[in-house]
Amino acid sequence: MFDQIRSDFKALPLQAEPFSFKLSEMFERTILDNGLKIISKELKDTETVTVKISVSAGSKFVEPGKEGLSHLVEHMVMNGSKRYPDPLAVRRAIEELGGYINADTSKEEANYRVKVVADDLEKAVDVLFSLIDEPLLDKRELEDEKKVIYEEIARAEDKLERRLLDKFFTLLFREHPLGKRVLGYQDKLKRISTDEVREFFKNFYVPENIVVCAAGRVSHTRLVNLVNNYLGSLKRGRLRSYDEFIPLVDGPKASVLDERAQQARLLLGFPTKPQNLEAHILNMFIVQLLCSNDRLSARLRVREKLAYDVSAAYSEFSDASLVLVYGGFSYNRVRKAIKSITDELRSIKKNPIRSKEFNKVRKLFETNLIFKLETPEDWIEFALRWNLILGNPIEPENYLKELEEIEPEDIQRLAQKLFVPENSYLAVVHKDKRAGEFEELLREGLGST
C-alpha cells in the first residue's frame, strides 16, 4: 500500500542498524565556460561508473495548456541522435557494453543516465551525450511516442494512490505548474506539435540548465575532458522566467476523492520553505521522529488498531518542501485516525523530546544517510538532490555536522511553526464528500497547545 507515495516522496526507514562511518573524500566540481556544471565522486573500490545528465526542464516549466510536454520531450530525446538514429540503435550500443541506459522526468528535471563497466565509459558517453548534443526529435516519431505516454497515463490513473496524489497536489499548489501531472493529460498532449517539442528543447536544454554528475571508477579530470569534448560547444541560452511557488498558508484545507475503495486513505501535508541545509535537516528529523516505532506506528497501528499502514515522508522541491503523513484506514475510523495523528503532532509541539528518544532518532537519521551512499547511483542522487535544492552538492561530513548541532528544542520550535491549522492540507479517499468536517478536525486537532 502507498507504494506510489513512497516512490514520489522520501519515506524514511523505521529501523536501521548502526555501524562506523567515515567520509574523507569530497565531491569535485567544475563549471565549463558555457555554464554547464560537472560533479563527480571517484569510488576506487568499484569497477563500474554511472553518469547522469540532469536538465532543469521538468514539468513545472511547462506553459498552461501544454501539460506533459517536458515528459514528451524526454521520450523524443531518447528516440535517437544523428550518430544513433533510432531507439534500438541507442539501446543496442549500450547493451553491447553490458550496461543500461534510461531516462525519466520529474516536476523539476529531466534525467538521462547510463551505467557501464568503467573501461567502457567513453563508448557509453558517446551515446548519452549525443542525445543532448544532436537529438533528432523526428516528427515521424511524435505520434508513436504520444501513444506510449497515453498508456502510461492510463496505468497511472488506474492507481488509487496516484489519484490521491493528484488530488493533494491540486489542493496544495492550485493552478501553479507544480500541481499538474508530470505525464500530462491526453487531451493536452494530442495538441502538442513537433515544433513545440523542438522549441521546448531549444529553450531549456541549454548548458546553464544542465548538470552532468558521475560516480564510480572515474577521475574528475577524465570526466571533465569527456564532457567538454562532447558538450563544451553547446551555446549558452536565455534562461526562461519561472514563477516560484510561495506556500499560501490558508488552511486548513481538505479535499475528498469519492471512491468506493476497500479502505479509506489520507495524505496530510505541511508545506515549508527551508532556506539552508540546517532547516532541511530539521524537517527531515521531524519526519524520522514520526517514522520511528515510538510515534505514529506505535500509536495508530499497535495501541489503537486504527491503521493498516501509517508513516511519514519528506519531499523537497526547489520552491518549497513538504512534511507528510499518510495512511490507510477503515472508513469508520478515519475521523478517529485524524484525531490521533493530530494529537501526536501536538505532542511534539507541546513536549520536548526526551533525550533517549532524541538520540535514537538521530542515530537512525545518521545511518539512513550511510545506507543511501552505498552505490555510485546513491552518490549521484545525493549530489544532485542538494545541488537542485541549495545550488551545490553537500558533503556528507557537513551534513552529519549539521545533524550533530540539532537540539530537542529546535525540533519543538519547528513543530510549533509547522503543525498549525493554517498550514495543513489534507487529501482523503472516502465515501463521505464533506470536506468541511475534515477541515474542522484539523482546526481542532492542530490548534494552540
Helix, strand or coil, per DSSP, at residue 62: coil
For 35-231, which CATH class? alpha beta
Q: Identify the sign of the CA torsion 102, 107, 110, 115.
A: negative
In angstroms, how far is the first alpha carbon of the chain from the final one?
33
SS3 per residue for 348-387: HHHCCCCHHHHHHHHHHHHHHHHHCCCCHHHHHHHHHHHH
Instruction: State the number of CA atoms in the 13 A half-sphere of 108 facing the CB.
Output: 18
Give yes or no on whether 35-231 and 253-445 have one common fold: yes
Per-residue pLDDT at 252 = 98
Q: For 225-250, b where at least 16 C-beta lie within 10 A, e where not — what string? A: ebbbebbeebeebeeeeeeebebeee
Peptide bond into 252 cis (omega under 30): yes
Homologous superfamily of 253-445 in CATH?
Metalloenzyme, LuxS/M16 peptidase-like (3.30.830.10)
Can you spell out the DSSP letters for 294-324?
TSHIIIIIIIS--EEEEEEEEEE-SS-EEEE
Say if strands 37-42 and 210-216 run parallel, antiparallel, or are unpaired.
Answer: parallel
Angle between helix axes 139-157 and 194-204 (nearest 10 degrees) is 90
Per-residue pLDDT at 433 = 67
Per-residue pLDDT at 239 = 80
Per-residue pLDDT at 238 = 84
The widest CA-to-CA distance across the chain, in whole angstroms, is 65
Cα–Cα–Cα angle for 68, 71, 72, rounded to 5 degrees: 80
Successive 10-residue mean pLDDT values, the chain, 449 residues? 51 38 70 98 95 98 97 98 97 98 98 99 99 97 98 96 96 96 98 98 97 98 98 92 90 92 92 95 96 90 92 94 95 94 97 94 92 93 96 92 95 97 96 85 89
Per-residue pLDDT at 9 = 54
> What's this model's pTM, rounded to 2 decimal places?
0.92
Beta-bridged to residue 328, according to DSSP, are: 265, 309
Per-residue pLDDT at 25 = 58
Per-residue pLDDT at 248 = 87
Of 290, 297, 345, 313, which is closest to residue 161 (Cα–Cα)?
313
Going from N- to C-terminal start, the domains of the chain cover: 35-231, 253-445
Of 79, 35, 53, 60, which is closest to residue 198 (Cα–Cα)?
79
